[in-house]
Amino acid sequence: MNAITQEKREALIAQLQKIQAMTEANGCTESEAFVAAGKAQALMDEYGLTLGEIKATSTPDDLCEKAEFQAEGRKTVHEVQFTSGKVAEYTNCRVWKTGNKICFFGLAADVQIARYLSGVFQTAMDTEFARYWRTARDFSETHGRTARKSFMLGMARRLRERLAELIQSRAYEQELQPAASDCRTLVVVKKQVVEKAFKALGMNLRRGSSGHCSRDGSSYDAGFKAGNNVTISHGGLNGRASAHRLN
């Protein structure tokens, strides 16, 4: 990794750590205050490489790296895995799963944001289910594990939809910007660099499941609605004042 990439990568990681430290210092737990997709875009713009920097690199494929996220659930892989495809698309990464690890591959800043977003979503999903089940378990005839699985699948689906909406909105806004041609060129070049570097790994990925199977419709619907409590927008992640505040 060249000096420019390493410097920006370290600056991005420091910024992400600073954000988390600030929320904890304000008395918020990790489940109460996180930055999500909208803020992530600003961080990618600030710490990602420019078109000129990529073109100036003699070996562009060396700009890529892998970042792993430990998606560990209670006994199986956490259902946040079902958001990883859209997270990867949003951050221009390739993604695969190894055991309970979600692996993102792409430019340095992009994979760090992808890993961070996965942590955001996992925490939000756990927080929202805990809130839901505290009330629902008193009148539900569904086993807790079944309810949790269904809730998580519903919420993962809604988070994917929210990311898809953001991806579409971002593309539209890029079309309206005066420097839209440079933005589009940067996206194309980044994809070419990532694809070339990924091809060199010699991996053959298969399409994974999107997690549509549900055994409890009520819990699934509740999870889907809970995905709206984690409002993904260009402004960041703003949920209930007591749950997901943007600092």
Place of tokens 């949790």: 148
CA distances from 114 to 67, 83, 102, 234 (A): 8, 11, 10, 16
Place of tokens 């994979």: 111
Q: Is 163:87 a contact under the CB 8 Å cutoff?
A: yes
CA distances from 107 to 9, 130, 142, 188 (A): 9, 35, 44, 13
Each residue of 6-18: pLDDT tens digit? 888 888 888 887 7
- Residue 95 three-state SS: strand
pTM of the model: 0.81
- Nearest-angstrom CA–CA distance, 99 and 81: 11
Domain limits of the chain? 3-205+215-238
State both tokens at 209: 């499941």
Each residue of 27-45: pLDDT tens digit? 554 444 445 566 777 888 8
The list of the chain residues with pLDDT below 70 reads: 1-4, 20-38, 73-75, 174, 177-181, 207-214, 230-247
- Nearest-angstrom CA–CA distance, 40 and 31: 17
Q: Is 219:147 a contact under the CB 8 Å cutoff?
A: yes
